[in-house]
Structures are given as structure tokens and as C-alpha cells.
Structure 1
Amino acid sequence: MAVALTMARMKVSILRHAAKGQQGGMTASAAVLGALLAGGMIWLAFLGGDWLAAAYTVWALGWIIGPVFSGGGDETLRPEFFTLLGLRPQRMAAGLLVAAFVGVAPAVSLLALAGLVVAGAREGVVGALVAVPAMVLQLAVFVLLSKVTVALLGLALGSRIGAIGAGLVNGVILAFLGQIWVFMVALGQGGQIPEFVRYLPSGWGLLAVQGEYLALAAMVVLIVLLLAAWAALLTRRTGRSRPSTRGRRPMRAATPHGAVIAKELRTWTRDLVRNHQLAFAFTYGVAFAAVPLLVGIPQMLPLAGPLFIMMAAAMTANTYGTDGTAHWLTLMTPGASDVRGRQLAWLAAVGPVGLVLAVVCTAAVGGPWPLVMAATFALLGGAVGLVPLMSVVGLVPGIDPKNRGGNPLRTSEDDGSATGMAYLMLVLVAVAAAPAVTVAVFFGWWGVPAGLLTGGLCWWGLGLLAERRLTAQGPELLQLMRTGRRADTGAKGSDTFELPESMSRTQRTIVMICASLGAIPLFPQGIVAIAFMANGRLDQSWFLATHVSPGLRWPVAIGFVLLGLGMYGTALWLWLRAKKAEKAEKAEKVAGEVTDTDKLAAQHH
């Protein structure tokens, strides 16, 4: 108990010091957004039925899959910190579990689990009283499921087969979450939840407050088993040995440019993190496009190829950052076009798979060929130009591959910025393909040469910008990757994709809400609803536009699209305005310092 309390106090102290400045603002914004989602969970408790059980299932999946995109989850206290203390694995796991209850995510989840109190009160006084221990036990189940999942992924990423398998599983889960409306429609037009959802571990707390008290005992047993499993996995993590590199063929290249290509291709085949990322992008694209087949909608299947390309670009957006200090090899190799070599290697790794997916999936449904091929070529060109440019402009210092700890998912010290870069990459790649897609929509096959043209321009032009930036600021980028601080200002990390400190808390909250929730009106209630109406499917209760009078259906759907675009635009406008104000303030400060220096010099003379 003393160890657990000490770890909890350590985490409280770390979070208290981190709750200042920009990091504190982002944490507060995330807390507000989480509180809104938790409020929605409580509201579902008043509806009755099995909606709350289904919502808690999705919430549990968020705990499980979320760490994949946030560098392995909460790593405030890492097991490696306590290796030399000689703690038994069970004692260390128990202490880390207690510390895991400290933070914004557990607090928000506990608020969401307050829906159990509402559900219990509907059953009577006893149900309300049982809800209190049920909330704590259910939260422990969520936390431990997340910890065990991260540990298993870390173990899987120790081998190529495991890395690919983990990517396949994660891609399927996230695709299913993104297409949850399909399952709602398939289960009786969104009005019924299958009964088995109540008996999943995420629904045991609800069963307990509804009178099935054995569910409390079941959660206790599950917590003990998960804790034991986590303790065993922690032992594997802290005692992991490095894989052998014997038996590999030497790399031969006749030119510096060829050396870059060969090095990158070897990295794509040998780096287990990249294997995981590529497998994840492939599975996500296929699963996301194929899931609507469950409700008889084949029109999304041709999107598998474009979705794979977009996700691959997002996952590799910080390519220079994840390479770490190996950048000094580039600086010490005159004449090597590192950017062009990386572009060709990226295209060789991603391009054939994306093209095959696009062709096969489009042929399976008989089209639309012009639209899909135009989008595929434009996305490939846009991605191959944006990946190196984004990486050198907004580089997030990564952990050297040779120094990666027992959590291989953690490739950066600032996973929040790396995640923001990935989301921004998705938007920018889509924007790069928009002209070719527009031409294909209105002029058919003319979209294909338009896609080739815009893709080629993005490859050449954006690659040229990245190469010039790398040549001009190569030593500064190496300094940033080596120390995590910029050479000019000494500021820690990369602030390109963070919220400026000049933003008020209200503005931060607005940006977080708009950026996080803008996809809901834009895609499900907007674009997907338009596709449904265009195909005459008006019996889907998940979409609001299908429930209004015929004269309002298209205006409502288009309104949702505009609302989603407006939310994203508002977030971008507030961010750009704050960045502009911050730059102006810095320039004014520098000008004032120069003036003060001139005055001192004049007084001296």
C-alpha cells in the first residue's frame, strides 16, 4: 500500500507541474470535451433499455484502442523507472494501477460511469448503493484492459509477425468504431441493441445495479486476473533483450541517392513499428470500406485504396522525427537527395498496395472508375509530397529507435503533437486530392490526368520545399531531435501543431470541440446521408435527414455538411489567428529588446 500511495503522489506531483502553460490548457480542453461525452453517457442512462450497456462497450473499446494512437497511453510513470528498486512484479503492477487512477481520463470515465447511479436509482435504493462499488470496479476493468492491451502490443511488436498481427487487429477495431452506424442499422434500423452486449465485461457494472450481484464478484475476479497478467507482462517488458541483427545482407549502393533509397526500403521491411503502421493502414482501409456491405451498401468498397493511402500518410507523417539522431548521416553525406530518396521509397512501399486495392475493390462493384483512379493518383502524389514536408516543417522530436523502451508504440516524447500532425495530414492529403476528384465528378475520365498532374506537382513542388528546408536548417533539426529543444529559442519540442499560449481557455475548448466533433455532422449525418438519399434508402433511422419531410431532406443533409466544414474552419481560423498574434507579440518583444540595447549603447558612449 505504501508503494502504491507513493506512486500516486508522484503522479499527482508530475501532473500538477505539467498543468501549467500550454500543456495545462490542452489538458483543460480535453477535460471539458470528455465531460461533455460523459454527460451524454449519463443521459443515455435515463433512456433505459440496453443503450447504456452499448455505450459502455464503445467506451471500453476507446480505452483499449486509444493508446495505439497516443504512444501507448499514459506513460507518466513508466515501469522502467522502478526496475532498480527490486519490487516484485505484482507489487509494481498494483502500485502502477493505483497511480493510473490519477489523471483526466480516469476522472472523465468515472463521471461517465455515474450513469450506473442513475440506472441503479431506477431499480431502487439498493441499486443506487450498489452503483458506487460498481463504478470503481468497472473503472478498474477499463484501466487494466488498456494496460494489458498495451503490454501485449509491446510484446507483439517484438516480432514481425506480432507487429503485423497487432496492426490487423487494431485496424479492424478502429474501422468498426468509425462505422458504428452500420451495426446500429443492421441491428434493427438502430432501434435495438443485442442482448449479449449487457454480458460483456463492460456491462457487468450495469448488471450489478440491476440486481445481478454476481457481476460484482465477476469484476473482482477479472481484475485479479488482469492484474496478474499485467504483472507478468511487465516482467517481460523490463527484462526485454534486443533482437539479433546477425545474418542480414550488407547494404550496397553505387550512389548517395541510391543509398538513401536502399536504407529507407530496408527500414520499411525491418522496422517493426513501420510494419505495424502499414498493416494497420491496410486493414483500416479495407475494413472501413467493406463494413457497409453488412447493410447492402457496396458503394463505399472502392474507397479502400484511397483510405489506405491517407492512413499510411498520417501514420508516417513524422518520418524524420521517428528516425531520431540518425539525421546526422544525411548531414555528413554531401550530394545525397534525402528527400527524393525517401519519396521514392515511400511510393514503393505504399503505392503498389494502394493501386491494387483501388483496382480490385472498384472492379468488385463495377465502378466508379474515373473517380477512384483520379483520387488514388492524386492522393499518392499529395501524400508523397506532404510526408517529408510536414516532417521537416513541424518535426516532433522522436525517441531514437535504438533507445525505444519496453513500449514500442511510444516513438515520440510529445505524443500529443505527433497525433495532431497525423490528423492534420489526413486533412491536407484530402485537400491535395480535392481538385482531381472535383474534375472527375463533373468531367469523368478527365479526372485521371488531373490526378496525375496534381499528384506530380505535389511530389515535385512539395518535395522541393522539403529539400530546401532540410538543406537550410539541417543542423537545427538535428539539434531539435537530439535535445528536444529548438536551437534558436530553446523552446522545448515542436509547437507547430500545438495550441498557442495566447489562446484563452474558452478558445482552446472551442478548438478542441470543433476539431474532435466536426466529423460527426460532416461525414455520418452529411456525406453518408446524401449517399443514402441518392440511392433511395430513406428507412435508416440513424440519419436525421431521412426523417424530415421530403422537401427538407437535401437541405438538412447539406446543412450538416456545411456545419462540419464550419466547425473545422472555426478551429483552423482560431488557431491561425492565435499563431499570428503570438508571432506579432514575439516580434514586438524582439524589437523592444533591440531598442533597449540601442539606448544602453548610446548611454555608454
Structure 2
Amino acid sequence: MAVALTTLTMARMKVAMLRHAFRGTRAQTAGTGAVLGALLAAGTIYLAFTDPDLLAAGYAVWLLGWILGPIFMGGGDETLRPEYFSLLGLSPRRLAAGLLVSAFVGVAPLVSLTALLGLLVAGVRLGVANALVAVPATALQLAVFVLLSKVSVAVVGLALRTRPGAIVSGLLNGAILAALGQIWVFFMLFGQTGVPAVVWYLPSGWGLLAVQGEWWALGALALLALLLLGAWAALLSRRAGAARPSTRGRRPMRAATANGAIVAKELRTWSRDLVRNHQLTFALSYGVCFAASPLVLGWDGMLPYAGPIFIVMAAAMTSNLYGTDGTALWLTLMTPSASDVRGRQLAWLSAHAPVAIVLTVAFTAVTGGPWPLILALLPALLGGATGLVPLVSAYGLVPGTDPHRRAGNPLRTSEDDGGLTGLAYLMLALVLLTAVPAGLVAIWYGWAGVAVGVVTGVLCHWGLGLLAERRLRSQGPELLDVMRSGRKPQATMKFRFEELSKTHKTIAWLCFGFGAIPLVPQGIIAAVFVTNGMLRHTWFLATYMPSGLRYPVAAAFVALGLAMYGTGVWVVKPRSSR
């Protein structure tokens, strides 16, 4: 009775908190996510009418999404946190049960439940008994999804308290997310060889096995849910400890100038901060695995792009660079005669450029090219990343959690997960844009693109860094107040979604949300495929065009993507600045 009362109370608390939280931009983000999730759920249900093997593979993808999504987005939904109930004397199992029930309240569980209706469709097609089994199978499958997500976040949070754990978890998470990003490779492989039987025996396939008459799978789901609940309860009791890496044996920092001190401080942070260790290894693993995934089809054409992909992902992971400092930002503002932006740029370059260069040169040498395009993209992306990381962080600063207060969940470096996710996607698009001129020149004129890449990289590094420096000098106190209070003053906001009409909001979200599709895959990547002679390739339209139209079609898609982003920026600008 006490457990039931606790779970009901926590569920009601979650409903009340979400009812007051989903407003403004956060409501728009949640609405966009719900629409995209509903489309994916509809596609999953459609698989139930076609091929059970593909349905099992689809549920495996949903399982990976539940495991990796919260890790990538800063710890997942923690509207109700275990720390809130630490003084109530609840047992770990009772607390875990209450938090589990509250975890089913939200957009993501509702979307996943919709996708799991494919089990009911599969059961109805087989018979009445199978349809009846589909009902508890659906509930248990959803419980396993949610519990696996909670346990994985808790395990990664514990791993981030040690350097080896942070590195290993970053490597694994990057590899799995890269596999999801290249899911088309595996679908093509499945089309050639068939869906591997192993997907049926993953936990994501047990519900479908139960519906098809393997009754043991239903009991296995129930047992797994109980085991995961017990594991989560045990992990919750270990959240209190803080991650304090030892500094014994470290050489003291020595710097002759103020700028040198900033560089030394940043490099020491990159070596000591376990969250940054995780981010760096995540970006490295993602870049290598994303580029290497097509090897399963016997194609090595993406290997040379491992370095550029690593740069873009590393920039996205550090897009809130100033926000992760927490209220220590005041030290930056009070440091005289020093350029904090230039110091951070040099430190970022020192931490990432050697890795990117080694990856690029080694993999391009293995495949034998294309040298002009790769050597043009490398300096352009490095310069664009070092210029955009401080600039985007200074203009779009998301108030972060002070590093010494990350004890409960080290993955959560900010209270606004939606803001961090939007900032990361914005960084992905902007960094890619900085390489477009060099890439196009390299495609059309060969080695001339290398010179263009060097010039644009230097200009982005210097010019965007200068803008970020001016932003810190002119708006430093306001940024510190945002970091301290968590509220952005309306007078200084450049983009005001709340003042827009519903029509303008919809246009802006469509432009920002879907502008990357024509720009990157249908434009830039399709042009690369055409250059490498890869014709009639999956969904890249330019590869299906006659020889004289391939590059114009790719260029038209690039122009469309840029136009969509430009339209979005124009729509959200205040009227006085139009």
C-alpha cells in the first residue's frame, strides 16, 4: 500500500511539473520531437504489416535509442531526481519504484508505447490468443526500455567518476551512436543477407517472440524488468558521492603571461575534467566508427572523412564551453590583460587538431584519396570550429551546473537539456557551413581548394574569435547574471520566439529543423558521392541524375538548405532589426 501511494504521488508530481514546464520554446521543442517521434512510430507499426524480421530490427533500434539518447542529451529526463527525496527515508527499492512509474509520464514513453502497438498488430494477425499476449508484452517491453535507459545512465554516471570509465563509456557510446547514424548501411546489409537472427533474442525482441507463441519470452521480460529495477535501486543509493579525481603527482602550472595562464588552465581542464574526457573520446569514437561503418558493405570511401567528422562532433559536444564553467565565469571576466577567447581557442586546437590530423592523413593514405578535398576540409573545419565554439557559447550560453555540483549525475551539465541539444545541432550546421567554400572549390578545381580552406580557416579563427571577445567584454556582467540566476534578460535577447505568431514559429522550426537535410546529405554528401563515382546511391537524389545535372542538383540542394536557414534567421529576428 505504501509503495502504491508513493508511486501515485510521484506520478502526480511529474504531471504537475510538466504541466508548468512545457511552455514557450521548450513546448515548441517538445512538440517537434513528438511529431518526429510519431512519424517514426508510424513507420514501426507499418513494419508489423510487412515483415516480422524488420519489426524485430526496428525494436532493436528503439532500444538503442532509449539507451543512448539520454546519455547523449545530458542524462535524460530528471524532472524528479532522487536527491529531492533523500530526506524522506524512502528505501532504495521503494524510491526506484516511484521514480519508475513517474518515468512513464512524458512524451518519449508515449511515443514508444505507440511504436510498440506493432506488437498488438502482429498479435491480431496471428490470432486471438496472440493478441491477448500482446497486451502484457507491450507493457513489459516498454518497462524494459525505460529501465534499461535508467540503468545505462546510472552506470555511465558512475563510470564518469573515474578516468578509465569516462574514456571507455565515451568510446562505446560514440560507436553505438555512429552505428545508429549509419543505420542505412546495416539495412542495406540486411537486404543482401537478411536480418540476423540475433535481433530476435535481444531484449527488444522478446515481446515479439512472446506474441508469436514463445511464451517463455513473456516471463523473461518480467524477470528482466525486476532485475533492472533492483539494479537501478542499487545504483540510486550510490549517486551521492562526488567525482574528485586525484591531483597528486601533477606538475604545477607555470606560465609567464596572462594568456599563457589561460592556455595552461584550459589544457589542464581538458586533461582532468572527466566530462571533457568523455566528450573527447565520444567524438573520436563517433568519427572513426561513422566513417568505418560502410566497410561492412565493402566500401572504404568514407574513411578519409573520419577526421573532419571528429572535428564537427567535437565542436558540437563543446558548444556550451563557457556554460560548463558555471559561476567560475567571473574569474574570466576579472582577469586583466588577457584574451580568454584566444587562450581557449589555442587550447581547443591543441587538444583536437593532432587527433584530427593523424586520423585524416592515415585514413586518406589507406584509401589513396581524395587528397585535395580532404586537405581542403581539414583546415577549414579546424578554423571554423575554433572560431564558432567560443562565439556560439558566448551568444547562446546555456546556464550550466558548477563542476563541483555534478555529483548526482555527471552527465547533466545544465538544467536545460533542450537548450543544450539545440545548441549542439546549431553548432553542427554552422561548422559544416564553414567548410562549404573550400569543399566546393576542391571539387571543381582540385588543389586550389586547399588554399581556400586555409584562408577560410584562418579568417574564421580570427574573425569569429574577435566577435566572441567583444561579446564577453560588452556583455560579460549580463552573461554572469544569466549563469548565476539561470534567466536570460529579455532586453538582450537577439531572437524572441515568444513574440512571434504561431505561423512564424512554425516556419522557423521547419527551417531550423529540416534545413540540414537538403544542405548536408542531399547537397554536400551527394556531391562527394558524385565526385567518387558512387551513382544511384540509396536516397541521394543527385546520384540518380544524368551526368550534366548531378552537380547542379547537389548545388541546388545546398542553396535550398542555406535559404531555409536564412529564412529561419530572418523570421525570428526582432522587427526593429529587420
CA distance, structure 1, for counterparts of residue 392 and residue 217 of structure 2: 49
Q: Which residue identity does 1:198 align to in structure 2? A: W
Closer, same or farther: CA 42–247 of 1 in aligned 2, 3 Å: same
Closer, same or farther: CA 279–421 of 1 in aligned 2, 3 Å: same
Match of 1:601 in 2: none
Q: Which residue identity does 1:160 align to in structure 2? A: R
CA distance, structure 2, for counterparts of residue 553 and residue 531 of structure 1: 14
Q: Which residue identity does 1:187 align to in structure 2? A: F
Match of 1:44 in 2: 47
Contact conserved, 2:150 with 2:232, CA < 8 A, in 1?
yes
Contact conserved, 1:500 with 1:575, CA < 8 A, in 2?
no
Contact conserved, 1:26 with 1:508, CA < 8 A, in 2?
no
Contact conserved, 1:523 with 1:561, CA < 8 A, in 2?
no
Match of 1:62 in 2: 65
Match of 2:564 in 1: 570
Contact conserved, 1:261 with 1:341, CA < 8 A, in 2?
yes
CA distance, structure 2, for counterparts of residue 172 and residue 237 of structure 1: 26
The structural deviation recorded for 1:488 is 6.2
Match of 2:498 in 1: 501
Match of 1:580 in 2: 574
Closer, same or farther: CA 571–220 of 1 in aligned 2, 3 Å: farther
Indicate yes or no: 2:19 matched with 1:25: no
Residue 85 of structure 1 aligns to a residue whose secondary structure is coil
Q: Which residue identity does 1:370 align to in structure 2? A: P
Match of 1:409 in 2: 411
CA distance, structure 1, for counterparts of residue 546 and residue 70 of structure 2: 41
Indicate yes or no: 2:78 matched with 1:84: no
The structural deviation recorded for 1:333 is 1.7
Q: Which residue identity does 2:51 align to in structure 1? A: G
Q: Which has the larger radius of gyration?
A: 1
The structural deviation recorded for 1:250 is 2.8
- Equivalences for residues 422-433 of structure 1 within 5 A: 422-433=424-435
Moved more, 530-539 or 402-411: 530-539
1:340-362 CA-to-partner distances (Å, cap 9, x unmatched) read: 11111111111111111111111
Contact conserved, 1:374 with 1:450, CA < 8 A, in 2?
yes
Closer, same or farther: CA 487–42 of 1 in aligned 2, 3 Å: closer
Q: Which residue identity does 2:405 align to in structure 1? A: N
Moved more, 409-418 or 96-105: 409-418
Moved more, 223-232 or 521-530: 521-530
CA distance, structure 2, for counterparts of residue 425 and residue 244 of structure 1: 33
Closer, same or farther: CA 457–59 of 1 in aligned 2, 3 Å: same
Contact conserved, 2:508 with 2:572, CA < 8 A, in 1?
no
The structural deviation recorded for 1:522 is 6.0
Match of 1:596 in 2: none
The structural deviation recorded for 1:559 is 5.7
Match of 2:450 in 1: 448
**Matched-pair identity in %:** 62
Q: Which residue identity does 1:202 align to in structure 2? A: S
Q: Which residue identity does 1:8 align to in structure 2? A: A
The structural deviation recorded for 1:23 is 2.3
The structural deviation recorded for 1:578 is 3.1
Moved more, 246-255 or 217-226: 246-255
Residue 377 of structure 1 aligns to a residue whose secondary structure is helix
The structural deviation recorded for 1:545 is 5.6
The structural deviation recorded for 1:565 is 6.3
Match of 2:366 in 1: 364
- Equivalences for residues 343-362 of structure 1 within 5 A: 343-362=345-364
Contact conserved, 1:520 with 1:564, CA < 8 A, in 2?
no
Structure 2 residue corresponding to 1:388, chosen from 375, 387, 390: 390
CA distance, structure 1, for counterparts of residue 51 and residue 382 of structure 2: 48
Contact conserved, 2:383 with 2:460, CA < 8 A, in 1?
yes
Q: Which residue identity does 1:296 align to in structure 2? A: G
Contact conserved, 2:341 with 2:469, CA < 8 A, in 1?
yes
Structure 1 residue corresponding to 2:254, chosen from 252, 255, 265: 252
List runs of 5+ in structure 1 lacking aligned partners.
Answer: 588-605
CA distance, structure 1, for counterparts of residue 126 and residue 527 of structure 2: 42
Match of 2:236 in 1: 234
Q: Which residue identity does 2:313 align to in structure 1? A: M
Match of 1:327 in 2: 329
1:103-151 CA-to-partner distances (Å, cap 9, x unmatched) read: 0110111111111111111101122222111111111011011101100
Closer, same or farther: CA 4–164 of 1 in aligned 2, 3 Å: same
Moved more, 563-572 or 226-235: 563-572
The structural deviation recorded for 1:294 is 1.5
The structural deviation recorded for 1:534 is 6.2
The structural deviation recorded for 1:442 is 2.1
- Matched residue pairs, number? 575
Contact conserved, 2:515 with 2:564, CA < 8 A, in 1?
no
TM-score where L is the length of structure 2: 0.92
Contact conserved, 2:133 with 2:210, CA < 8 A, in 1?
yes
Residue 319 of structure 1 aligns to a residue whose secondary structure is coil
Indicate yes or no: 2:136 matched with 1:139: no
1:497-533 CA-to-partner distances (Å, cap 9, x unmatched) read: 8x81244556655655665556566666676666666
Closer, same or farther: CA 239–405 of 1 in aligned 2, 3 Å: closer
The structural deviation recorded for 1:556 is 8.9
CA distance, structure 2, for counterparts of residue 369 and residue 443 of structure 1: 13
CA distance, structure 1, for counterparts of residue 560 and residue 161 of structure 2: 43
CA distance, structure 2, for counterparts of residue 112 and residue 568 of structure 1: 34
Match of 1:179 in 2: 182
Match of 2:18 in 1: 15
The structural deviation recorded for 1:241 is 6.3
CA distance, structure 2, for counterparts of residue 407 and residue 522 of structure 1: 36
List runs of 5+ in structure 2 lacking aligned partners.
Answer: none
Contact conserved, 2:379 with 2:457, CA < 8 A, in 1?
yes
Closer, same or farther: CA 563–213 of 1 in aligned 2, 3 Å: farther
Closer, same or farther: CA 277–551 of 1 in aligned 2, 3 Å: closer
TM-score where L is the length of structure 1: 0.89
- Equivalences for residues 118-517 of structure 1 within 5 A: 118-189=121-192, 192-240=194-242, 242-487=244-489, 489=491, 500-503=497-500, 508=505, 512=509, 515-516=512-513
RMSD between superposed Cα atoms in Å: 2.7
